[in-house]
Amino acid sequence: MDDLLVVGAGPYGLSIASHAAAAGLSLRVHGRPMASWRDHMPRGMFLKSEPWASHLCDPASRWRLDTYCATRGVPTRHGEPIPVETFAAYGLWFARHAVPEVDERTVTRIAPRPGGFEAVTEDGTTLHARTVALAVGVMPFVDIPAALRGLPADLVSHSSHHTDLDRFRGRDVTVIGGGQAALETAALLAEQGTRVRVLARAGRLHWNDTPPAWERPWWRSVRSPHSGLGPGWRNWFYAERPGLYQRLPEPARTRIAATALGPAGAWWVRDRVEGAVEIRLGQNVTAARAVAGGVRLELAGGGSVTTGHVIAATGFRATRDRLGLLSDELRDSLATAADGSPRVGRDFESSRPGLFLAGLLTAAAFGPAMRFVHGASFTADTLVRGVRRRLRTGVPGGTLPAPAQVVRD
C-alpha cells in the first residue's frame, strides 16, 4: 500500500507530488499532465497571472517557469503575459524532472477501506493508498446557467470545452459572461472572423489595471506591494498569507472567496475587445430553445437574441456533490462549508482522515489564491506536511463519521 495517491497532474497535483517524493513518501500520481491547459483552453490564449507568479513548486525551486523559458529562449518579463501553450509545455517539463512517473490512466472511483483508500482506474486496475490528495483541477466543476442546460452540445458549450475555435469561423456566436474567459474568447473569435457578441449580467465590464513597474520607489512598493494576485495589500494578504486567511471566521472566508477578484478582463485584452466585439451589458438569459439554425435566447426584460452557438464562459462551482469519483459513502461523509465545498483543516485534510484536497475546492478555506497557479506553492508544502502527520498517527478504518453540521451565513 502506497503512502499517498495523488489524483490529478495539473500545477497542484504535480507540485504536491514533487514535495511528497522529496519527503521520501511512496506515492503514485495519476492523471493526464496539464490536461486543463492542453485540452481545455483555445490556442492563442495567455496566462492572466504574471510569469513570476506562475511557477509550479518543487522543494528546491529548481524547476521554475523562468528556468524553463530561459532554456527555450522565451522571455519572462514582468507585465508580459505568457502563452498558454508555453505554460503547458513548462508543466510537462516540470513533470519529467521534478515528479516520479505520472500514470495517465484516469482514476474513476475512490472508496474508503480499513487503514486507507481503494482507487480504481479507467481500465479496472485497483490501487491502495494510506492517504489520497485530490487535485482534480476545475473540469469536474464546470458551471453552465440553468437556462442553457439540456440543449445539445452543437448549440451550447462551456468556454473550457474548446482547444480550437476554428469551427466558428464565419458563424454567429454569443458568449455569456463578463470575466477573462468570456472576453478573451470573444477577442479570439472576432480576430478569426466570427460574428460575436458578449452578454454580461453586470452593468459594466471590469478591467484589471496595467501592473505597476517592477522597479519603483520604495514608498510606492510600501503603499501597494506586488503580489501573486496583483498589487495592493489586500491582494498581498490573499496571495502570500493563505494560512492566516484560513484563521478568519468561516462566514467571512466563504464570502471573500466568492467575491474577491471577481470577473474582470486582463489589461492586455481590453484593446482587442473594445470596438471589435459587440457588448451587451445588464443582460440575463432566462430561457433558451433550439430554433432553425441555432439557439434563441430569451432575456430578462423581454428581449431576445438568436445565434448559431452559445459559449457559456460562466466559470466553475466547486462543491462536494460534484466529486463524482468518490464513492457515495465517502462523498456523503464529507462535511461542507456554506458554499457547498468540502471543509478542510489547516493542512488541507478533509473531515475524512487521510483524504486531502487541493486547488479550487479549497478556496473557501484558504482564499482566492487557490483559484490560481500561485496557490500551488503553499498548498504543496502544507499538504505534504499534513500527509506526513497523518501517516504517523494512522488512518482509521471502520465506519465513516457523520459529516459535521454545515455553518450557514
Query: pLDDT digits over 73-107, tens only?
Result: 999 999 999 999 999 999 999 999 999 999 999 99
Under the banding of pLDDT at 50, 70 and 90, the label for residue 214 is: confident
pLDDT of amino acid 299: 96
Please give the distance of CA 2 from its chain centroid, rounded to a whole number.
27
Residue 392 parent element (H or E): helix 376-393
Closest by CA position to 185, among listed 91, 89, 46: 46
Q: Are 315 and 139 in contact (CB under 8 A)?
A: no
Residues 291 and 336 reside in one and the same domain: no
> Is 398 a domain residue?
no
pLDDT of amino acid 406: 41
What's the structural domain count of the chain? 2
Query: pLDDT digits over 13-34, tens only?
Result: 999 999 999 999 999 999 999 9
Q: What is the mean pLDDT of the chain?
A: 94
Instruction: Provide, rounded to the nearest whole percent, the portion of the chain with pLDDT above 70.
Output: 97
Query: pLDDT digits over 335-394, tens only?
Result: 999 999 999 999 999 999 999 999 999 999 999 999 999 999 999 999 999 999 999 998
> Is 279 a domain residue?
yes
Under the banding of pLDDT at 50, 70 and 90, the label for residue 165 is: very high
Q: Are 10 and 38 in contact (CB under 8 A)?
A: no
Please give the distance of CA 365 from its chain centroid, rounded to a whole number.
15
Q: Vertex 348, ends 346 and 349: CA angle to 5°? A: 100
Query: pLDDT digits over 379-400, tens only?
Result: 999 999 999 999 999 876 544 4
CA distance 92 to 138: 19
Residue 67 parent element (H or E): helix 65-72
pLDDT at 402 over 80: no
Tell me the residue range of the domain where 75 lies: 2-141+316-393
Instruction: Provide, rounded to the nearest whole percent, the portion of the chain with pLDDT above 90.
Output: 92
pLDDT of amino acid 407: 39
> Is 214 a domain residue?
no
Under the banding of pLDDT at 50, 70 and 90, the label for residue 264 is: very high
> Is 50 a domain residue?
yes
In order, the DSSP letters of 80-139 are: -PPBHHHHHHHHHHHHHHHSSPEE-SPEEEEEEETTEEEEEETTS-EEEEEEEEE---SG
pLDDT of amino acid 396: 66
CA distances, 71 to each of 24, 25, 57, 85 (Å): 29, 30, 18, 16
Residues 64 and 162 reside in one and the same domain: no
Under the banding of pLDDT at 50, 70 and 90, the label for residue 404 is: very low
pLDDT of amino acid 301: 85
Cell numbers 466529486 correspond to what residue? 323
Residues 157 and 48 reside in one and the same domain: no
Under the banding of pLDDT at 50, 70 and 90, the label for residue 405 is: very low
> Is 247 a domain residue?
no
CA distance 129 to 114: 10
Strand order in the sheet with 285-291: 285-291, 294-299, 304-307
List the CATH number of the domain containing 160. 3.50.50.60
Which 3 state secondary structure label does DSSP give 110? strand
Residues 155 and 304 reside in one and the same domain: yes
Query: pLDDT digits over 107-155, tens only?
Result: 999 999 999 999 999 999 999 999 999 999 999 999 999 999 999 999 9
Residues 274 and 384 reside in one and the same domain: no
Grid coordinates of 144: 453552465
Residues 185 and 56 reside in one and the same domain: no
pLDDT of amino acid 397: 55
pLDDT at 229 over 60: yes
> Is 256 a domain residue?
no
pLDDT of amino acid 34: 98
Cβ-based neighbours of 219, under 8 Å, separated by 6 or more:
none
> Is 403 a domain residue?
no
pLDDT at 291 over 50: yes
Cβ-based neighbours of 39, under 8 Å, separated by 6 or more:
32, 163
